[in-house]
Amino acid sequence: MNDPLQQPRYEIRAQHTDSTVTVYQAYRPTIGLPAARDGHFPPAWKRDRMTWIKPSFLWMMYRCGWGTKEGQETVLAVEIAREGFAWALENAELSHYVRGVHEDRTAWKRVLRSAPARVQWDPERDLDLNPLPYRSLQLGLSGEAARRYADEWTVSVRDVTPLAREVHAAVRAGERERAAALLPVETPLDLSAPRPVPTTP
């Protein structure tokens, strides 16, 4: 695995191609299984609610407890159009106020209310799901962004719950090299209009 000491504090890392970016989400089986089966989100998926996508597999494992938390039993790898991911970032606001980045709290709240996406940086996780000294992106989508994510940007949906269980089993067995080898390869994502990063945690 990459040396944590060599990682930039704020950097988008993902499994990606020239045209797509893979992000992760976890749902209850009634949503996750039809999505993986059909390759798109079912009508029951709420397009009027904010949804958070995570390019980091291990951060998703931290969030869903390796797919064991109630309501997060089905882990999905959602491949979306790179242009859609870039659009969300370009139209996003930071999820928290940062002095020096925003004019003031009132201005930040005003922009946040109308922004279709939110950027949040959380500590990346290791195989034991402990925090690392660098950050992982979470991207919140609402309104237009959520609808376009579900109905326009989605290229494929895969159920990676078996992978989550296999990695977790290897970690519990002390087979760390095997666990690390199973992880999706996530590399820095170079976008033409990267989101400015905050200067405070």
Tell me the pTM. Answer: 0.88
List the beta bridge partners of residue 133: none
Looking at every residue in the chain, the average pLDDT score rounds to 89
What phi and psi values does residue 192 have, to the nearest 5 degrees?
A: -70, -25
Tell me: the pLDDT tens digits for 116-128?
A: 899 999 999 999 9
Greater confidence, 143 or 111?
Answer: 143
Check residue 79 and give its pLDDT.
98
For the chain, the distance separating the N- and C-terminal CA atoms, rounded to the nearest angstrom, is: 24
Q: Indicate the helix (H) or strand (E) that contains 107.
A: helix 105-114
Q: What is the pLDDT of residues 144-201, one digit of tens each?
A: 999 999 999 999 999 999 999 999 999 999 999 999 999 999 999 987 544 444 444 4
Q: Which of the four pLDDT bands, split at 50, 70 and 90, describes residue 1?
A: very low
Furthest-apart CA atoms within the chain: distance in Å: 51
74-81 and 154-159 beta bridge pairing: antiparallel
In this prediction, residue 83 carries a pLDDT of 95
- Residue range 50-66, pLDDT digits in tens: 999 999 999 999 999 99
Tokens representing residue 39 in the block:
């390759």
Mean pLDDT of 95-122: 74
- Asked if pLDDT for residue 102 goes beyond 80, the answer is no
pLDDT band per the 50, 70, 90 thresholds, residue 8? confident
